[in-house]
Amino acid sequence: MTRDIPDRIFYRIKDVSIITGLKPHVLRYWEHEFKDIKPLKSPKGQRLYKRKDLDIILTIKNLLYEKKFTIDGAKKYLSSQKKLFDEIREELTDIVKLLNKGESH
């Protein structure tokens, strides 16, 4: 259902709207509801979304529209995924330290 996403540094709200199929007012509302959506603002005040923002928006859209999560449910799900990711990253960092320590002996 998602279109091919052009490879850019920034996407304007109109571009994100076209790519995601979401109206700009929905995107603006989600910015207030989901703290991980953090578009930059151009000197003229235009929202500039990064690819990470776009990926988060597509994930939220899937949770809300396909999986029928509530907004609070989607927030909890995203928070739990972030915690899991952080735990895995910490474990991998510890493993790398152990491997590096073993190489020095």
pLDDT 10s digits, 32-50: 999 999 999 999 999 999 9
- Closest to 60 in 3D by CA, of 47, 41, 73: 73
pLDDT interval class at 61 (50, 70, 90): very high
- Closest to 36 in 3D by CA, of 80, 91, 75: 75
pTM: 0.79
What is the pLDDT of the chain when averaged over all its residues?
A: 93
**pLDDT value at position 3?**
60
H/E stretch holding 40: strand 40-41
- Collect all residues with Cβ–Cβ distance below 8 Å to 42 and sequence separation of at least 6: 48
pLDDT in tens, 70-101: 999 999 999 999 889 889 999 999 999 999 98
Q: What are the chain's domains?
A: 11-103 (1.10.1660.10)
